[in-house]
Structure 1
C-alpha cells in the first residue's frame, strides 16, 4: 500500500503539479480548498455568523481572496494524491485541516488537549476488532503518528465486524485500515508492520517513535505475553478489548506508571509462564487459555458453548459488530483519559449490556 503523495504551498510549485499530472494516472481531481476556506473562516469567526449575514459573507469572501491570491508559479494549500483511488485533491494545509476537522470536538476536548492528543503516537495490534479501534482514534483526532500491526487478509466472514466491503475481500487488513485512516486525515504519519509482530521486529516497534499507548487485540497468546514484557521494559500502557457476545471486557495495564504490574492484572496466575515454556502447545490450548484469560464466570452461555463448538460446528469464535463498535468508542475515551493524564488506574472493567438495558 502506497501512502498519499502530498504537495504543499511554499515547498512545491505549479510546475511540480504539472509534471505530476503528466506522469500519473488521475481518475478524478477534486477541489475542496475554497469550500474548506469557508469552513475555516466560519470557525475562526463564530461571532459574525449570527449577527449580520451580509457582513459575514463580505468578510468571508475577503478571507478567501487573501488565501487564494498567489504568484503565478505557486499555489496555496495542499494537493493530496490518493494512489488507491486515483483522486487528486486540493485541500487545506495540515494545520488548517486539523483545526477544521477537530472543531466539532470543542469544548468537549479543549484546544490544548487536542494538541496533546494529535501529537501522540498510538498503536493498534490486530486489525479485526482493531479496525474499528484505529478508525475511532483517528476520527477523535488521537494520534498524529499511528502504528499498525497485522499479517492477515480480509475474508468474507470478516465482514460481520470489519469496516470493509466485498471489493476488499482478499486484501490485507492493514492496507484497508491504513487507507481508511489516510482518507480521514492524509497527514497522519503511519508505521505499518504488515507481517504482524514477531521476535524479529517486536523491539523495533517500541524504539522508533515509541507508542504512547497500545491497543492489543490479537489471538496469538505467545505474542500477547511478549508484547507486555516489552511494554514493561519501555514503560508503555497496554489496553486490551475482549468482546464476548453482548459483553465487553476492557483490561488496562499501566506499565508506564508501574513496571512491576503482573501481566493481565494477575488473574491468570502461571499461564504466561506455561505458554512461554510450551509455545508449541499454545495453538491446541488457545481456546482453553482464552476462557481462563477472560474468566469463565464472565462468559455468557452462548459464547461459552461456541468455544466448545469450534472445530465441530464452528470455524472460529463468533463476534458481533455491535460489541466491536462499543469497544472502539470506549477505546477512544480510554486513550484520551490516559494521554491527557486524567487517570492512573490499572484494572479490568466489565460491561454487560443486559444489565444496562434489558
Structure 2
C-alpha cells in the first residue's frame, strides 16, 4: 500500500505537504527518504536557528551559542518528525521545513515593519486573480514573495514558448509546460503553504464567473492578458461585482487602477473608449474596431516613441506587442506595491501613473544643466 501511495505522489503535479504527526504521512516520508532516486534537502537546523533568533531579537548570538541553542531545541524535539516535509514531484525532491506558522513568521520577518503585522494578517485573508501570465508571472511571484494574498487564482491558456523567455523567468527545460503550471510550481517552491488555483484554459465565457466568485469573491483583479475581448469582459464583470482592477502595460512604467469597489458606475478604462461609442456598442463592434480600441486603451499619445514605432510594425516585421524583461519585472514589482496599497486601504484612487525611468533621468540631467 505504501508503494502505491508513493507512486501516486510521483505522478502529482503539485507540491505535497506531508505532516509527520499523521501516521500515513510519516510512512510516506520514510519511504521517500529511502528512495535513492529522490533528493533529500534537510536544512531544518538552520531554519530553527533563524526561528530562535526571531524569538529572541535582543540577544546577541554568536555562532557557538546559537549552535548550542539549536542542539538544546532538538533535545526536546525529534528532528525527523519536527515540522513538515514537502515533496516536489517535478524535481523528485523532498524538503524539510518548519511548521507552517513558524515557517511564515521566519519567511516574512524581513517584511517588518515595511508591512505591519496587521497588514500582513489582512493580506493573508485576501483573494487575488491574475489574468495573463507574461507580466502576470512577475506580479504573481512578487505577491508570493511578500505573502500578499491568502488565495491566488491565475488564468492563462498558453504554454511556455521560446519567444516568451525574454520576459518570463524560466528554463528551457520548461518549454511546452503550461504557464499556469510553471507559476504555481514556482510559488510552491517559495512557500508551499500559499493557496494557488489555476485556470489553465484561460478566461472563457464558461469559467469567468467561477474565476471571480468560486469559494469567495475576488478582492482584486490584476489584468495582464493580450485579448481585447477578455480585457473588456473582465472589466464588465469586475465592475458588476465591485472589484478593483489593476493593470501594467510594460511601457513607460504605466500602472492603471480602476476602483470599481469605490465607484460602481465608473466607465471602463477611465472613459478612454467613449469616443468610440457606448460600452455596449464597443463590445458589439469589437472585431471591427480592434486597432482603435487598442490605441485608446494604451492612450497612444502617451506611449514611448519606441512603443509607438512598434505598433506600426505589428503584422509586418513583428507578430506581437514588444515587452522587455526589465519592464516586466519592474511592472510586477509595481503591481505588488499597489496591490498592498489597495487591499490595505492606503487611499489609492482610480487613475494612471507613469514611472518612466528615461524621463526621470532626462529631466534630472536637464535640471543640472
What's the TM-score once normalised by structure 1's chain length?
0.90
1:14 to 2, 5, 26: 26
Contact 2:129 2:211 in 1 (8 A): no
**Match of residue 216, structure 1, among 194, 208, 223:** 223
**Separation of aligned partners in 2, 1:126 and 1:196:** 8
How far off its partner does 1:279 sit? Answer: 4.1
Equivalent positions of 1:247-262 (< 5 A) are: 247-262=252-267
> SS of the counterpart of 1:227?
helix
2 CA distance for matches of 1:129 and 1:35?
34
2-side partners of 1:9 and 1:49: how far apart? Answer: 33
Does the 8 Å contact 2:45/2:70 carry over to 1? no
Match of 2:323 in 1: 319
| Cα RMSD for the two superposed structures | 2.1
Give the distance between the partners of 1:356 and 1:76, measured in 2 at CA: 52
1:65 maps to what in 2?
Answer: 75
Counterpart mapping for 1:103-252 below 5 A: 103-208=109-214, 209-244=216-251, 247-252=252-257
After superposition, give the CA deviation of every residue in 1:5-36 in whole Å (9 maximum; x if it has no partner).
111243345324235667x8953111122221
Offset from partner CA, 1:282-338 (integer Å, 9 cap, x none): xxx534322211212101222112111111111111111111111111111111111
Report the CA distance shift for 1:66/1:300 in structure 2 as closer, same or farther (over 3 A): same
Aligned 8 A contact 1:120 1:144 in 2: yes
Tell me, yes or no, if the aligned pair for 2:32 and 2:38 is still in contact at 8 Å.
no
Find out whether 1:37 has 2:48 as its counterpart: yes
Q: Does 1:267 find its partner at 2:265?
A: no
Cα separation, 1, equivalents of 2:68 and 2:45? 15
1:33-55 deviation line (CA, Å, top 9, x unaligned): 222111111111121125x7655
* Structure 1 stretches of 4+ moved >6 Å: none
> What is the CA deviation profile of residues 213-255 of structure 1, one whole-angstrom value per residue up to 9, with x for unaligned ones?
11101111111111111112222111011122xx022111111
Q: Distance in 2 between matches of 1:175 and 1:122?
A: 17
CA distance in 2, matches of 1:146, 1:189: 6
CA contact (8 A) 1:7 1:80 kept: yes
Check 1:64–1:115 CA distance in 2 against 1; reply closer, same or farther (3 A cut): farther
How far 1:355 sits from its partner (Å)?
A: 2.0
- Given that residues 37 and 64 in structure 1 are in contact (C-alpha distance below 8 angstroms), is that contact kept between their aligned partners in structure 2? no
Q: 1:64 to 1:270 in 2, by over 3 A?
A: farther
From 286, 293, 307, give the equivalent of 2:290.
286
User: Structure 1 residues 53 and 131 mapped into 2: Cα distance closer, same or farther (>3 Å)?
Assistant: closer
Once the two structures are TM-superposed, the CA of residue 205 in structure 1 deviates from its matched residue by 0.9
Residues 58-100 of structure 1, C-alpha deviation per residue, up to 9 Å, x if partnerless? 334323433336xxxx822101001111111111111111111
Instruction: Give the secondary structure class of the aligned counterpart of 2:243.
Output: coil
Distance in 1, Cα, partners of 2:71 & 2:95: 22
Cα distance in 1, alignment partners of residues 37 and 254 from structure 2: 45
SS at match of 1:30: strand
Q: For 1:327-346, list aligned pairs within 5 A.
A: 327-346=331-350
Q: Sort the Cα spacing of 1:59 and 1:301 in 2 relative to 1 into closer, same or farther, 3 A.
A: closer
**Counterpart Cα distance in 1 of 2:21 and 2:290:** 55
Q: Which consecutive unaligned segments of at least 5 residues does structure 1 have?
A: none
Q: What SS does structure 2 have at the residue aligned with 1:192?
A: strand
| Aligned-residue offset at 1:118 | 2.3
CA contact (8 A) 2:15 2:192 kept: yes
